[in-house]
Structure 1
Amino acid sequence: HELRTPVSAVYGAAETLLARDLPVSRRTELLRVTHQQALRLAQLVEHLLISASLDRGALPVTVDAIDATLPALAAVEAARVREPTRTIALDVDRDIPRVAADRARLQQALAALLDNALKYSPPTAPITVRLERVSSRAQISVVDAGPGVPEPERERVFDKFHRLDPTMRNGISGSRLGLHIVRKLVIAMGTNIWIESATPAASGTRVVLELRLAEPTRQDDLVDEIAY
């Protein structure tokens, strides 16, 4: 169904453009529909391919000691370019140690979480990405002001093709693979992810991605010795 809808929209718009002599405004509208649905179709196909690669263990994931600020900033900046009218903030604690992760895959996971937050949040509501140290771990959280996810659904939303209750989707469609892919990427990096309420009133959603701190390298030890 998710593939059939954009394919039908593209086919219908193209058929109308070819069959009729239309005013410029109508042609522009149909071209815009074609473009939007083609982008949606491309995203669906990409999600299917990534999911299949993850299921086969064929998607390379290389865990290194990285600065988590860099993929977080890249994901936020890309989201700001796609949605220039939205408020997307990045809040980073000072002196965050390096973490053990794959930089490209971490950015990919954060981009998917931001896409999800943008879909479900009101257009005027801000979205915040926060990077902080919590005890012996680092956490990156994506916080939105959407309707929230009921507690019984907070594990199931990571299942492949899981469909939320229609009253929660508000007509929003998608591949139903985004969060499944994110969890697979997170597990491949040896970390964890979960969903909780953004506020005590259970409104909004806070998706927390936990990261292991990287082991100090010999170079780090030498720097510490010199500083001492």
Structure 2
Amino acid sequence: MIKTLYLRLVLTFSAVVVVSIFLTFHIVMLLYTNRITTEVQASLLKVGNQLVEMSNEYQPIKLETLLEGSTQFNDSYSLFLFDDSGYQASFGVEKNNDRIELDQQRVTSVLHGNIYKIETKNFIYADFKESTNLMIGIPLCVNGKQYALFVTPKVSEVARKQTRNTIITALLIVLLIGSLLILVASRYIVSPIKKLTLATNRLARGNFNVNVNIKRSDEIGLLAEGFNHMAGELKQLEQMRQDFVSNVSHEIQSPLTSIRGFSKALRQSALQEDERHRYLEIIERESEHLSRLSENLLKLASLESEHHPFHPTTYDLDEQLRRVVVFFEPQWSEKELGLDLNLPRVKISADADQLNQVWTNLIGNAIKFTPHQGTIQIKLAAKTDRVVISIQDSGIGIKKEEQERIFERFYKTDHARQRGSGGSGLGLAIVRKIIERHHGSISVASEPGEGTLFTVILPIFTYS
């Protein structure tokens, strides 16, 4: 059983070479046999006509002497003579081949004055093995007696063997050279595949720092390029997984440490009542933080699994935005923020619960990071097939290098790293995932100290 691609390629290419040589030999013989036959017959006919002219001119008493002398003078052909009584004489042939078997009908036809020659379209190269298969027959009249003279080319057995051996030797040389070239070509083809196999095994063992250096522009080169891209993506995915575990551990460890520390403090009998209440409030706040973290993690995992429930309904988007603004009324009223709402009536087909979480997160962040007596603008614009929602604040802003990462899980800007903000770094990741499920897009534009603008574009009719 053949188990290696290299051996399969060598055997396959070798078989192709052998079959190609065999077919080529037969095809060439079929193409050129008729041509060779025609030329030989023309030469034989010329010899026969010369003998007829000589016999007609000299009218020899003994025709056999003329024919014998002709074959001795030119030994490239053999002659066979027939008369109406069936007499046969041969000239220029070996003693053991001094007679040939011919169809009597052919002999009779030549005796009656017809010229016989083999039909080239019916002649195949296999017949060329016997020289008597190539012949012509011409009528000959000497001293009033009618003869049939057949002329055939003389091909010696030695010459025939030499020709056969030469052809076989040439074919063997072609096969040998072809096999050597196939060995080299197969190694050239298989070598990059071996590199890919080794790299794949390393990748399967968890080593993502692999790179296949194959500089080719063919399909194997494209495969190597795709493999390197896949390895890079897996490496990045592994780094994201490690960062995720690290971030989750950090987010969980901090509140657990606080809860454990203040729980121990509550055991002190001499603890004042106001301190007891403050410790309990901290424990409650940290517990709520853990609850929100676990809830957001479960929700993000559900969204990324593509099995999260999706229930699109047609509703007023402007009304939904107003309800979210009213929900945050205590927060923006406490900070004396100015709200500028431009919300014309717009209907949209989408999952209302999921989009409500988007607006809650974006508007909540705008209120959280806008300073006292700042402003927030919420605008809604309807296009032909989509709606554009923009939420702009006059808050602390986001640095340019941080804007590309704010949608990553657990990523927080420096201004948002304070525990008092209560953020876990999952809100915007959830927002982006929900918008992607609605086949929309979200972008951010911000300058430090000048506020932030979030722009959401959604299709009017959404189907997940």
Task: Give the TM-score category using the shorter length.
Answer: 0.7 to 0.9
Select 1:204's aligned residue among 433, 446, 451. 451
Shift of 1:81: 4.4
Cα distance between partner residues in 2 of 1:6 and 1:134: 46
Select 2:437's aligned residue among 188, 191, 200. 188
Could you tell me which residue of structure 1 aligns to residue 277 of structure 2?
28
**Identity across matched positions, percent:** 26
Could you tell me which residue of structure 2 aligns to residue 226 of structure 1?
none
Report whether the alignment pairs 1:108 with 2:357.
yes
Could you tell me which residue of structure 1 aligns to residue 339 of structure 2?
89
Could you tell me which residue of structure 2 aligns to residue 42 of structure 1?
291
CA RMSD across the alignment: 2.6
CA 1:9 to 1:84, structure 2 compared with 1: closer, same or farther past 3 Å?
farther
Question: Is contact 2:289–2:422 with CA below 8 Å preserved after alignment?
Answer: no
Q: Once the two structures are superposed, what CA deviation does each residue of 1:143-163 show, in whole Å capped at 9, x if it has no partner?
A: 222221233432321122334
Question: Is contact 2:407–2:432 with CA below 8 Å preserved after alignment?
Answer: yes
Cα distance between partner residues in 1 of 2:409 and 2:435: 15
Moved more, 11-20 or 185-194: 11-20
Question: Is contact 1:80–1:88 with CA below 8 Å preserved after alignment?
Answer: no
SS in structure 1 of the partner of residue 406 of structure 2: helix
Shift of 1:91: 1.0
Report whether the alignment pairs 1:80 with 2:332.
no
Cα distance between partner residues in 2 of 1:32 and 1:124: 29
Question: Is contact 2:376–2:394 with CA below 8 Å preserved after alignment?
Answer: yes
> Quick check: which has more Rg, 1 or 2?
2
Select 1:62's aligned residue among 311, 324, 333. 311
Equivalent residue letter for 1:156: R
Report whether the alignment pairs 1:117 with 2:381.
no
TM-score by length of 2: 0.41
Could you tell me which residue of structure 1 aligns to residue 202 of structure 2?
none
SS in structure 2 of the partner of residue 140 of structure 1: strand
TM-score by length of 1: 0.79
Cα distance between partner residues in 2 of 1:134 and 1:149: 29
SS in structure 2 of the partner of residue 62 of structure 1: coil
- 1:123-134 alignment runs, 5 A limit: 123-133=372-382
Shift of 1:183: 0.3
More helix by percentage: 2
SS in structure 2 of the partner of residue 158 of structure 1: coil
Q: Once the two structures are superposed, what CA deviation does each residue of 1:18-68 show, in whole Å capped at 9, x if it has no partner?
A: 333322211121122122222222211111111111111232122332210
Q: How many residues align?
A: 210
Consecutive unaligned residues of structure 1, counting only runs of 5 or more, are 216-228
Equivalent residue letter for 2:343: D
CA 1:7 to 1:126, structure 2 compared with 1: closer, same or farther past 3 Å?
farther
Question: Is contact 2:331–2:367 with CA below 8 Å preserved after alignment?
Answer: no
